Amino acid sequence: MLVLFLCLFLLLLFLFKFITAYGDFTLMSKKQPKLEKIEDKVVWITGASRGIGEILAKQLASLGAKLIISARDEAELNRVKSQLKGKHAPDKVKILKLDLTSGEDALREAVDLAECFFPESGIDYMIHNAAFERPKTSVLDVTEDGLKATFDVNVIGTITLTRLLTPFMLKRGKGHFVVMSSAAGKTPAPGQAVYSASKFALNGYFHSLRSELCQKGIQVTVVCPGPIETKNNAGSRVPSEKRVSAEKCAELTIIAATHGLKEAWISYQPVLAVMYLVQYMPTIGYWLMDKVGKNRVEAAEQKGSTYSLSLLLGKNKAA
Ligand SMILES: NC(=O)c1ccc[n+]([C@@H]2O[C@H](COP(=O)([O-])OP(=O)(O)OC[C@H]3O[C@@H](n4cnc5c(N)ncnc54)[C@H](OP(=O)(O)O)[C@@H]3O)[C@@H](O)[C@H]2O)c1
């Protein structure tokens, strides 16, 4: 009887933990970042002019990192820099204007410059956070221009930058890539097929890179967030959508990186549950997504919630 009661209690505890989780179980088990892995380390962040990248810059600066912040909009980078506080901020924060679509020669110049900013250590962490905008459209409405624009930033630019930076890291025998992928890089994302394809590509590339080079000191943390609330999307998001804050997402990203996690998932339910299903029970996961797919595209068209369980029933299309 006691054993039965204990089992029931543990099951309820597990269910409660799962329902209220905002990250995968491994990530949730790590409570704090390892400060010694961040303080005085050089961190280069792309897409730092707004959104999650801006918050990452703020949190990393306050933990004592030396920062290089990149994006195309220099004025916004200056605004972000002026707001950073920490052992090496704002004065020693370096701004490196960067367009990920500018081609190999320009990206090589950017890498050379970034490596020179802190010559005594070079780059310890490269946070690949920048991404092309991700409007929701049906696969039928994808244009060649949209496809190329997404892949140029999310995949070609990001991989080229990595290819150019890795030899410097290998020479030092250490370096850590942190990649802001997405839940859409783990599960089907109806209405965002091209974005999803670009994130699956990143996952494949960076997990392979780690397998090839981990014995030479190269680490990779692939972060897969579900819906995140940023200042940027706060105005346009559907009120009923439950999103993890950009602050929490950045905090968990830093925890995942400093604990050397290979992959981390950040989301509320039901997205987290779908990620578990697709990963561990793909037959059920894909069946579920096939039920949701058409409704999700229609919900996006009608500005309804695209992350709700009621998509299963075809409800929730209207805002
Ligand atoms: N927000 C979410 O709900 C969510 C969910 C899952 C995953 N993610 C991922 O998390 C990351 C950050 O998302 P976010 O919502 O914070 O993004 P965001 O607000 O759209 O910001 C994108 C950043 O990328 C930069 N960027 C865009 N094109 C660029 C280019 N050609 N070259 C260099 N930089 C460029 C932008 O700066 P400039 O315009 O100044 O260049 C900006 O700083 C992305 O990788 C995204 O896919 C976000």
* Residue 81 pLDDT greater than 80, yes or no: yes
The model's pTM is 0.95
Burial class from Cβ neighbours inside 10 Å (0-12, 13-18, 19+) for residue 20 reads: exposed
Share of the chain above pLDDT 70, in %: 97
* Domain assignment of residue 318, yes or no: no
What pLDDT score was predicted for residue 61? Answer: 98
How confident is residue 315, by pLDDT bands cut at 50, 70 and 90?
A: low
More confident call, 162 vs 8: 162
CB of residue 71 inside a 6 A radius of ligand 1: yes
The protein residue whose alpha carbon is closest to atom 18 in ligand 1 is 51
Total domain count, the chain: 1
Share of the chain above pLDDT 90, in %: 81
For the beta sheet containing 175-180, the strands, ordered from the edge strand earlier in sequence to the opposite edge, are 94-97, 66-71, 42-46, 125-128, 175-180, 218-225, 263-266
Q: In ligand 1, which atom is closest to the CA atom of 52?
A: 16
How confident is residue 316, by pLDDT bands cut at 50, 70 and 90?
A: low
The protein residue whose alpha carbon is closest to atom 28 in ligand 1 is 132
- Between 9-18, 29-38, 108-117, 262-271, the lowest mean confidence (pLDDT) is in 9-18
* Residue 318 pLDDT greater than 60, yes or no: no
Q: Which structural domain, as residue segments, surrounds residue 54?
A: 22-269
What pLDDT score was predicted for residue 241? Answer: 78
* Domain assignment of residue 283, yes or no: no
What pLDDT score was predicted for residue 134? Answer: 86
* Domain assignment of residue 310, yes or no: no
Task: For a ligand 1 pocket test, name from 68, 79, 129, 155 the mutation site with the most ligand atoms within 8 angstroms of its C-beta.
Answer: 129
What pLDDT score was predicted for residue 319? Answer: 44
* Domain assignment of residue 287, yes or no: no
What is the rounded average pLDDT for all residues in the chain? 94
Ligand 1 center from residue 17 Cα (angstroms): 30
* Domain assignment of residue 12, yes or no: no
Q: Over range 7-11, report the average pLDDT.
A: 84
* Domain assignment of residue 123, yes or no: yes
Q: Could you report the per-residue pLDDT of 229-261, keeping only the tens digit for each?
A: 998 776 666 776 789 999 999 999 999 999 999
What pLDDT score was predicted for residue 15? Answer: 80
What pLDDT score was predicted for residue 237? Answer: 65
More confident call, 209 vs 304: 209
* Domain assignment of residue 7, yes or no: no
What pLDDT score was predicted for residue 2? Answer: 78
CB of residue 107 inside a 6 A radius of ligand 1: no
CB of residue 98 inside a 6 A radius of ligand 1: yes
Q: What is the CATH number of the domain that holds 38?
A: 3.40.50.720
Ligand 1 center from residue 84 Cα (angstroms): 19
* Domain assignment of residue 313, yes or no: no
Quickly list DSSP for the chain.
Answer: -HHHHHHHHHHHHHHHHHHT-SB-HHHHH--S--GGGTTT-EEEEESTTSHHHHHHHHHHHHTT-EEEEEES-HHHHHHHHHH--BTTBTTTPEEEE--TTS-HHHHHHHHHHHHHHSTTT--SEEEE----------GGG--HHHHHHHHIIIIIIHHHHHHHHHHHHHHHT-EEEEEE--GGGTS--TT-HHHHHHHHHHHHHHHHHHHHHGGGTEEEEEEEE-SEE-HHHHTTS-TT---EEHHHHHHHHHHHHHTT-SEEEE--TTHHHHHHHHHH-HHHHHHHHHHHHHHHHHHHHTT--SS-GGGGGT-----
CB of residue 191 inside a 6 A radius of ligand 1: no
CB of residue 202 inside a 6 A radius of ligand 1: no
Those residues whose C-beta lies under 8 Å from the C-beta of residue 272, and which sit 6 or more positions away, are 21, 22, 23, 24, 226, 265
More confident call, 232 vs 175: 175
